[in-house]
């Protein structure tokens, strides 16, 4: 019984962790690309990494916090333009190759030794060099607060403040997507996803709408990157291809083209993985499966889950199969 | 490319398949038997630190000044709270220290534990500040020298241009290009016949390398036999993959985007399966010291020449197969227009199954040889070269086998020649950058046709 209680507690702690919030925000951004506009962006991790770099480096150079966020957003905007302008006229699978390649270039350049002064090379940037201004914004009094089994510092590096801001942003962006999906702009995006030529024949500039979607989703991705690195540090290798694929898994699990799908998917992604890992570590003897192997086993199941989801339930948990057409 | 005459009887793929497999194997045998590789006894993977949610790794490889691994050297990491954890370099010079908290660690090399005659270069920087985040790994590099108190300036060495270096890098580029081409042609054929861009193709390459390691080093089979078994098993994985996954999904009518995401899922599952069974460390297929050959100042290992020879032979055979045999012509017909090919009596499903089999077999062969040439295989091998393969295939023109070959050679050259002008960190980035530039100006690639880009 104690085991079940402690397992339940650690699962809920994982569900509300800042990393989960960052993943949810990244998935909301990706949802605008993939779910609404049908853009196959498999370089979402690059938006996160650029956002994180922009924020961390600007803060290190003494830019105030909102200026640093602005720097992150401008960098993500430029990246979206560079990525989108030449490729959005091409077929979808070309966009896929270009986005994944561009994301790898960003990561490789970021971790290269000649940029050590700027990006810290492959070691990245430590959290305490940029998280102080964020913590200083906190209106909470110092000390710790315990709600049920959630026991954190009010302000600290990984405390209540980052959780409140992270999940607050999740709520704000969800609301934004809800509003957009009901707007003429959102309906047009869905139209492009379903039948580009039909939308074009109505006299709409498809290319321009796709670019707007790419930019909006990318900016949200940059914010996700900031939330992702605030409690830890900027690690270029921690925001590589695998991250993009996990964001896809979360999005498809919850349901692409829905409002709450990305949020539900991100929470379930982390909770299910931790559950599998904990159960495997507890109940499978370590001679058969070591604790490292239990972690790897949980990721094998993530891969298998992604395959099964897209084959048997491409609309995810919350989605509507009729609405989601994979057009490419 | 109007190939398939009407009223053709169904193409007999089985005989050609057997023939092709036989020639591939013969070529392999012939090239490998000219050499006697000294394959040592079982060489188990070292248990290295693996990152997870509660563990981060500080790691690196320590080499002696002559480039050989320095074993038995103690390196310790001191956490911000003052606790110290240490690690010792293993037989290949690798060290890793598992740590359980975030923060900046002070990493120090114990100079007393160095082999005799070896001293730490740049002693002033012995205490390194390494920032660690749980779930990821951080690295730092210590350099050794034969003189005490040596100072090595890494920014000035290695970037002097000379024709000697140009020739050496070009030879390495040709080698990488030829080995990439083996994998790229398979990917290109699969794309040509089914329209699918398989993200799991890199893992097919890794599988080849790891299987060769299993047979040659763990089970102690002769390398040549291990390579043959590896190619056969790899080809079989392609065959069964098509039978069990891709054919049913084609029948189910999944879109190409969905299929592509399926391959991403498969690739994630395979990567972690490799880690599950082989660990995260790099394993070496042959542990004997490779001999080198010097031709006109270009120094490559014997394995490299053999690997290049084998891939030229196999590439020529694949070309002849596509151009001269009935099945090869049928394959090109399916690439060109599956519906028309089916209407003219070609069994499209059978051709696609054959293409998957060949593609996986060639990727496996590529993995074996990359493992030999690059001095090791780990679970990331395929992940690292997948984008290079994509770049090669896209450069040459998606879906054209000949284009894939040329594209691979160009990509291999770009990767290795970049070292002449830019630091090594940029070699893959340059290849991908050129891929993006090409897509902007000639999206159909060098040999592709306009109609393929929509």
Say which CATH number the domain at B63 has.
2.60.40.10
Looking at the fold, whether B123 and B169 belong to one and the same domain comes out as: no
* DSSP state, residue B10: P
Cα torsion for A287, A292, A298, A300, to the nearest 10°? -90
* Mean pLDDT, chain A, integer: 91
Find the CB nearest B439 among A87, A233, A307: A87
Question: Distance (Å, rounded) from C-alpha B217 to C-alpha B201?
Answer: 24
Domain of residue B64 covers 56-145
* DSSP state, residue B67: S
Asked whether the beta carbons of residue B425 and residue A113 sit closer than 8 angstroms, the reply is yes
Asked whether the beta carbons of residue A92 and residue B257 sit closer than 8 angstroms, the reply is yes
What percent of chain A has pLDDT above 70? 98
Residue B278 contacts residue B379 (beta carbons within 8 Å): yes
Question: Distance (Å, rounded) from C-alpha B250 to C-alpha B300?
Answer: 45
CATH number at residue A9: 1.10.3470
Instruction: Report CA torsion sign: A255, A259, A262, A267.
Output: negative
Q: pLDDT band for position A229 (50/70/90)?
A: very high
Q: Is A144 part of a structural domain of the chain?
A: no
Looking at the fold, whether B204 and B316 belong to one and the same domain comes out as: yes
Specify the range with the lowest mean pLDDT, choosing from A19-23, B4-8, B205-209.
B4-8
Looking at the fold, whether B346 and B377 belong to one and the same domain comes out as: yes
Q: So what's the pLDDT on residue B6?
A: 40
Q: So what's the pLDDT on residue A75?
A: 97
Looking at the fold, whether B302 and B447 belong to one and the same domain comes out as: yes
Residue B10 above 70 pLDDT? no
Q: So what's the pLDDT on residue A239?
A: 92
Find the CB nearest B102 among A122, A232, A293: A232
- CB contact set of A219 (below 8 Å; sequence gap of 6+): A29, A47, A73, A76, A77, A80
**Which B positions 46-105 lie with beta carbon below 8 A of chain A?**
50, 52-53, 102, 104
Question: Distance (Å, rounded) from C-alpha A63 to C-alpha B172?
Answer: 46
Interface test with A, best of B98, B192, B251, B268 (most A CBs within 10 A): B268
Question: Distance (Å, rounded) from C-alpha B413 to C-alpha B426?
Answer: 14
Find the CB nearest A123 among B131, B134, B394: B131
A236 or B422, which is more confident: A236
Q: pLDDT band for position A65 (50/70/90)?
A: very high
Residue B257 above 90 pLDDT? no
Looking at the fold, whether B414 and B304 belong to one and the same domain comes out as: yes
Specify the range with the lowest mean pLDDT, choosing from A89-93, A167-171, B302-306, B410-414.
A89-93
Residue A324 above 70 pLDDT? no
Q: So what's the pLDDT on residue B208?
A: 96
Question: Distance (Å, rounded) from C-alpha B399 to C-alpha B190?
Answer: 8
Tens of pLDDT along A234-280? Answer: 999 889 999 999 999 999 999 988 999 999 999 999 999 999 999 99
Task: Kindly list the residues from chain B whose CB atom is less than 8 angstroms away from the CB atom of residue A102.
Answer: 432, 436
* Centroid of chain to Cα B221: 22
State the ipTM, two decimals. Answer: 0.92
Specify the range with the lowest mean pLDDT, choosing from A164-168, B285-289, B384-388.
B285-289
Q: Is A100 part of a structural domain of the chain?
A: yes
Task: Kindly list the residues from chain B whose CB atom is less than 8 angstroms away from the CB atom of residue A112.
Answer: 423, 425-426, 429
Task: Kindly list the residues from chain B whose CB atom is less than 8 angstroms away from the CB atom of residue A305.
Answer: 265
Asked which of B145, B175, B204 is the last residue of a domain, the reply is B145
B273 to chain A, any CB pair closer than 8 A? The answer is: yes
Q: pLDDT band for position B161 (50/70/90)?
A: low
Q: pLDDT band for position B288 (50/70/90)?
A: low
Asked whether the beta carbons of residue A297 and residue B276 sit closer than 8 angstroms, the reply is yes
Task: Kindly list the residues from chain A whose CB atom is less than 8 angstroms away from the CB atom of residue B268.
Answer: 242, 245, 299-300, 302-303, 306
Q: Is A46 part of a structural domain of the chain?
A: yes
Tens of pLDDT along B169-188? Answer: 899 999 999 999 999 999 99
Q: So what's the pLDDT on residue B359?
A: 96
Asked which of B86, B112, B145 is the last residue of a domain, the reply is B145
Tens of pLDDT along B54-111? Answer: 777 888 878 776 666 777 788 888 777 777 787 888 777 778 888 877 777 888 888 7
Q: Is A187 part of a structural domain of the chain?
A: yes
Residue B192 above 60 pLDDT? yes
Looking at the fold, whether B88 and B173 belong to one and the same domain comes out as: no
Looking at the fold, whether B33 and B81 belong to one and the same domain comes out as: no
Asked which of B145, B175, B198 is the last residue of a domain, the reply is B145
Tens of pLDDT along B125-156? Answer: 777 777 777 767 777 778 777 767 666 654 44
Q: Is B159 part of a structural domain of the chain?
A: no
As for how many domains chain B has, the answer is 2
Instruction: Report how many Cβ contacts below 8 Å link chain A to chain B.
Output: 174
Q: pLDDT band for position A328 (50/70/90)?
A: very low
Residue A62 above 50 pLDDT? yes
* Mean pLDDT, chain B, integer: 80
Task: Kindly list the residues from chain A whose CB atom is less than 8 angstroms away from the CB atom of residue B433.
Answer: 105
Q: So what's the pLDDT on residue B39?
A: 33
pLDDT, mean of residues A80-96: 84
CATH number at residue B294: 1.10.3470
Q: So what's the pLDDT on residue B451?
A: 52
Specify the range with the lowest mean pLDDT, choosing from A248-252, B296-300, B373-377.
B296-300
Looking at the fold, whether B117 and B18 belong to one and the same domain comes out as: no
Question: Distance (Å, rounded) from C-alpha A12 to C-alpha B239?
Answer: 44
Looking at the fold, whether B105 and B215 belong to one and the same domain comes out as: no
Alpha helices in chain A (DSSP H): 2-15, 18-30, 44-60, 65-87, 92-110, 116-119, 132-136, 160-182, 184-194, 196-201, 206-229, 241-254, 261-283, 291-312
From the list A297, A306, A289, A225, the residue with the least C-alpha distance to B52 is: A297
Looking at the fold, whether B270 and B419 belong to one and the same domain comes out as: yes
Q: pLDDT band for position A325 (50/70/90)?
A: low
pLDDT, mean of residues B314-341: 90
Domain of residue A184 covers 2-137+153-312
Question: Distance (Å, rounded) from C-alpha B33 to C-alpha B46?
Answer: 31
As for how many domains chain A has, the answer is 1
Q: Is A145 part of a structural domain of the chain?
A: no
Q: Is B420 part of a structural domain of the chain?
A: yes
Residue B450 above 70 pLDDT? no
Q: How far is A136 from chain B (nearest CA, A)?
A: 20
Residue A217 contacts residue A29 (beta carbons within 8 Å): yes
Find the CB nearest A109 among B136, B429, B436: B429
Three-state SS across B296-335?
A: CCEEEEHHHHHHHHHHHHHHHHHHHHHHHCHHHHHHHHHH
Indicate the helix (H) or strand (E) that contains A147.
Answer: strand A144-147
Asked whether the beta carbons of residue B272 and residue A122 sit closer than 8 angstroms, the reply is no
Asked whether the beta carbons of residue B254 and residue A233 sit closer than 8 angstroms, the reply is no
Q: Is A106 part of a structural domain of the chain?
A: yes
- CB contact set of A197 (below 8 Å; sequence gap of 6+): none
Residue B287 above 80 pLDDT? no
Task: Kindly list the residues from chain A whose CB atom is less than 8 angstroms away from the CB atom of residue B134.
Answer: 232
Task: Kindly list the residues from chain B whose CB atom is less than 8 angstroms away from the CB atom of residue A314.
Answer: 258
Asked whether the beta carbons of residue B276 and residue A302 sit closer than 8 angstroms, the reply is no
Looking at the fold, whether B202 and B124 belong to one and the same domain comes out as: no
Residue B78 contacts residue B105 (beta carbons within 8 Å): yes
Task: Kindly list the residues from chain A whose CB atom is less than 8 angstroms away from the CB atom of residue B426.
Answer: 108-109, 112
Question: Distance (Å, rounded) from C-alpha B428 to C-alpha B433?
Answer: 9
- This prediction's pTM: 0.79
Looking at the fold, whether B377 and B235 belong to one and the same domain comes out as: yes
Full DSSP string of B163-225: HHHHHHHHHHHHHHHHHHHHHHHHHHHHHHHH----TTHHHHHHHHHHHHHIIIIIS---HHH
For A127-162, b where at least 16 C-beta lie within 10 A, e where not — what string?
Answer: bebbbeebbeebeeeeeeeeeeeeebbbbbbbbbbb
What percent of chain B has pLDDT above 90? 33
Cα A323 to Cα A6, A187, A194, B22, B255, distances in angstroms: 40, 12, 9, 50, 15
Q: pLDDT band for position B37 (50/70/90)?
A: very low
């Amino acid at each position: 019984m104690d085991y079940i209680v402690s397992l339940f507690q650690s699962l809920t702690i994982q569900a509300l962790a800042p990393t989960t919030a960052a993943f949810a925000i990244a998935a909301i951004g990706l949802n605008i690309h993939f779910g609404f506009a049908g853009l196959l962006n498999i370089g979402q991790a690059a938006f996160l990494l650029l956002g994180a770099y922009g924020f961390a480096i600007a803060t290190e150079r003494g830019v105030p916090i909102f200026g640093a966020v602005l720097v992150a957003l401008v960098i993500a905007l430029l990246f979206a333009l560079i990525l989108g302008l030449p490729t959005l006229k091409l077929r979808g699978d070309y966009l896929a190759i270009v986005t994944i390649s561009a994301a790898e270039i960003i990561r490789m350049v970021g971790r290269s030794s000649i940029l050590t002064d700027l990006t810290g090379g492959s070691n990245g940037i430590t959290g305490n060099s940029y998280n102080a201004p964020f913590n200083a914004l906190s209106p909470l009094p110092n000390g710790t607060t315990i709600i049920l089994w959630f026991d954190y510092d009010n302000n600290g590096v990984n405390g209540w403040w980052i959780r409140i801001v992270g999940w607050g942003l999740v709520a704000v962006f969800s609301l934004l997507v809800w509003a957009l999906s009901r707007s003429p702009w959102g309906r047009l995006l869905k139209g492009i996803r379903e039948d580009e030529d039909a939308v074009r024949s109505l006299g709409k500039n498809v290319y321009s709408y796709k670019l707007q979607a790419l930019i909006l989703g990318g900016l949200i991705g940059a914010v996700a990157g900031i939330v992702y690195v605030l409690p830890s540090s900027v690690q270029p290798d921690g925001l590589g291809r695998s991250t993009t694929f996990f964001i896809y898994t979360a999005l498809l699990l919850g349901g692409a083209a829905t409002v709450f799908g990305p949020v539900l998917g991100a929470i379930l992604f982390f909770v299910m993985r931790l559950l599998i890992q904990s159960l495997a570590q507890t109940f499978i003897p370590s001679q058969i499966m070591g604790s490292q192997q239990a972690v790897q086993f949980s990721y094998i199941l993530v891969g298998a889950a992604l395959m099964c989801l897209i084959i048997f339930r491409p609309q995810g948990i919350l989605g509507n199969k009729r609405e989601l057409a994979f057009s490419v | 490319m109007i190939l398939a005459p009407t009223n053709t009887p169904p193409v007999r793929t089985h005989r050609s398949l057997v023939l092709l497999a036989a020639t591939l194997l013969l070529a392999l045998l012939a090239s490998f038997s000219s050499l006697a590789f000294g394959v040592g006894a079982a060489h188990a993977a070292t248990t290295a630190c693996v990152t997870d949610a509660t563990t981060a790794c500080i790691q690196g490889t320590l080499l002696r000044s002559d480039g050989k691994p320095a074993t038995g050297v103690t390196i310790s990491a001191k956490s911000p709270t003052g606790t110290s954890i240490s690690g010792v370099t293993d037989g290949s010079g690798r060290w890793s220290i598992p740590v359980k908290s975030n923060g900046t660690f002070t990493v120090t090399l114990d100079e007393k534990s160095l082999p005799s005659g070896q001293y730490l270069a740049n002693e002033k920087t012995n205490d390194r500040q390494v920032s660690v985040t749980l779930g990821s790994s951080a690295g730092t590099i210590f350099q050794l020298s034969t003189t005490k108190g040596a100072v090595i300036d890494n920014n000035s060495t290695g970037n002097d241009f000379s024709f000697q270096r140009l020739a050496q890098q070009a030879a390495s580029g040709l080698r990488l290009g030829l080995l990439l081409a083996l994998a790229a042609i398979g990917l290109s054929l699969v794309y040509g016949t089914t329209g699918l861009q398989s993200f799991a193709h890199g893992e097919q390459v890794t599988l080849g390398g790891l299987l060769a390691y299993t047979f040659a080093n763990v089970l102690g089979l002769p390398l040549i036999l291990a390579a043959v078994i590896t190619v056969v098993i790899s080809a079989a994985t392609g065959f069964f993959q098509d039978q069990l996954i891709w054919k049913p999904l084609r029948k189910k009518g999944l879109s190409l985007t969905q299929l592509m995401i399926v391959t991403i899922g498969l690739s994630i599952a395979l990567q972690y399966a490799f880690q599950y069974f082989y660990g995260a460390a790099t394993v070496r297929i042959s542990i004997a010291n490779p001999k080198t050959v010097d031709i006109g100042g270009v120094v490559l290992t014997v394995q490299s020449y053999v690997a290049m020879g084998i891939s030229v032979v196999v590439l020529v055979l694949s070309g002849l197969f596509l151009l001269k045999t009935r099945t090869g012509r049928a394959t090109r017909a399916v690439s060109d227009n599956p519906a028309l090919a089916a209407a003219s009596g070609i069994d499209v499903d059978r051709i696609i199954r054959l293409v998957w089999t060949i593609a996986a077999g060639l990727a496996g062969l590529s993995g074996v040889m990359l493992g030999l040439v690059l001095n090791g295989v780990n679970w990331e091998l395929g992940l690292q070269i997948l984008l290079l393969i994509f770049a090669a295939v896209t450069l040459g023109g998606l879906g054209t086998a000949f284009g894939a070959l040329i594209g691979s050679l160009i990509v291999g050259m770009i990767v290795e020649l970049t070292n002449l002008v830019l630091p090594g960190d940029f070699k893959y980035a340059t290849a991908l950058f050129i891929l993006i530039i090409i897509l902007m100006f000639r999206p159909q690639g060098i040999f592709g046709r306009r109609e393929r880009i929509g």
